[in-house]
Amino acid sequence: MTTVAWTPREMALLQAMGIPLWAPQPPEALTPAAVAPVPARPSDARSETPAPPEAPDALPRAASAAPQPAARRPDPPNAAEPATPAARPPVAAAEPLGTRPGGVKHMGWEALRDAVSGCQACGLCRSRRHTVFGVGHPQARWMLVGEAPGEQEDLQGEPFVGKAGQLLDNMLRSVGLTRADAPAEQQVYIANVLKCRPPANRNPEPAEVAQCEPYLKRQVELVAPKLILAMGRFAVQSLLGSQEPIGRLRGKVHQYHGVPLVVTYHPAYLLRNPLDKSRAWEDLCLALEVIETAGAGTGADPDR
Ligand code: URA
């Protein structure tokens, strides 16, 4: 029988992403219960109560030196990836209360942050508790774009807090990156397409995406990253204007206003579909290649 020989680097990275490595198993480990997939969550329930088996708790020793993010609270599981996402209860977009401030395209960080926190350009301003602007290094080399805040993000005002955020942090750590304070080579910038939570975690409405788009565009201009990682359907639709499924857009380097862009699955989707983590790993490798080709290393020594 042929056995796969993983290098220590590969094992550490796969472990960080929660991808199980094959090894001979005692028969009892292969019972249906032992190999059953993670059950899908109800389509409208974003709060992830039980930690799924692939919850990324165990980190490779090599990665433990990276700065650790603050403790995370239960996560909003949004971002269905399949072309035919599970139906969500219809929650209508409310009428906007006002307009988006003018001059977004010339704003600096402070003005942009203020503009977002006071924004009333769509009905989401009625139900939000906090706007979720973005976090990370203002000149990061990697910029990650997700969908929209969920319940915890709305409460805390920070993107990706919760189980999906933990997985994201571990994926980042596997390539020597972090959201915590670090030099620009290692610290990413994370933003969402929408800065306000859609009620009941329904999908973003096209009008909401359109109203928020100038903020994200300005964030990209200010960060001027070497690479954008677009995570999930709504990030891809907003940044690339494409309705193609993720599966067709992965594996290529796209462009967003001159910035190389790599498409990958949303971390919340990966929690529900752990077998696709290996594809997400391929996407990270492609992103690393883009960064290396641009002559802007992550600072990571993946063999450490
Ligand atoms: N999902 C997202 O896309 N963004 C968040 O901030 C949290 C969950």
Q: Is 186 in the pocket of ligand 1 (CB under 6 A)?
A: no
Picking from 195, 114, 167, 112, the residue whose alpha carbon sits closest to that of residue 284 is 167
Q: What are phi and psi of 189, to 5 degrees?
A: -120, 130
> How much is the pLDDT for 55?
36
Amino acid, single-letter form, for residue 302: P
What CATH code is assigned to 104-294? Answer: 3.40.470.10
Q: What are phi and psi of 7, to 5 degrees?
A: -75, 160
293 CA → ligand 1 middle, Å: 29
Asked if 224 contacts 294 with a C-beta cutoff of 8 angstroms, the reply is: no
Give the tokens for residue 184: 């620009």
Based on the number of CB atoms within 10 Å of its own CB, is 113 exposed (0-12), middle (13-18) or buried (19 or more)?
A: middle
| Residue where the block lists tokens 């796209």 | 254
Rounded distance between C-alpha atoms, residue 176 and residue 183, angstroms: 12
Local structure of 208: helix, strand or coil: helix
Rounded distance between C-alpha atoms, residue 172 and residue 256, angstroms: 21
**Signed CA dihedral, 195, 297, 274, 245: sign only:** positive
Number of helical (H) and strand (E) elements in the chain, helices listed first: 11, 6
Rounded distance between C-alpha atoms, residue 262 and residue 254, angstroms: 6
Give the tokens for residue 30: 């292969």
> How much is the pLDDT for 194?
98
Atom of ligand 1 nearest to the CA of 190: 6
269 CA → ligand 1 middle, Å: 11
296 CA → ligand 1 middle, Å: 27
Asked if 133 contacts 117 with a C-beta cutoff of 8 angstroms, the reply is: yes
Asked if 277 contacts 38 with a C-beta cutoff of 8 angstroms, the reply is: no
Best probe residue, ligand 1, of 116, 153, 189 (max atoms within 8 Å of C-beta): 153
> How much is the pLDDT for 86?
44
> How much is the pLDDT for 295?
81
> How much is the pLDDT for 267?
97
| Residues of the chain under the 70 pLDDT cut | 1-98, 296-304
192 CA → ligand 1 middle, Å: 7
Rounded distance between C-alpha atoms, residue 77 and residue 144, angstroms: 17
Q: Is 201 in the pocket of ligand 1 (CB under 6 A)?
A: no
Local structure of 4: helix, strand or coil: coil
> How much is the pLDDT for 148?
97
Picking from 17, 29, 93, the residue whose alpha carbon sits closest to that of residue 267 is 17
Residue 171's CB: how many other CB atoms inside 10 A?
26
Based on the number of CB atoms within 10 Å of its own CB, is 225 exposed (0-12), middle (13-18) or buried (19 or more)?
A: buried
Picking from 262, 267, 269, the residue whose alpha carbon sits closest to that of residue 283 is 262
> How much is the pLDDT for 32?
30
Based on the number of CB atoms within 10 Å of its own CB, is 24 exposed (0-12), middle (13-18) or buried (19 or more)?
A: exposed
Asked if 141 contacts 291 with a C-beta cutoff of 8 angstroms, the reply is: yes
> How much is the pLDDT for 71?
36
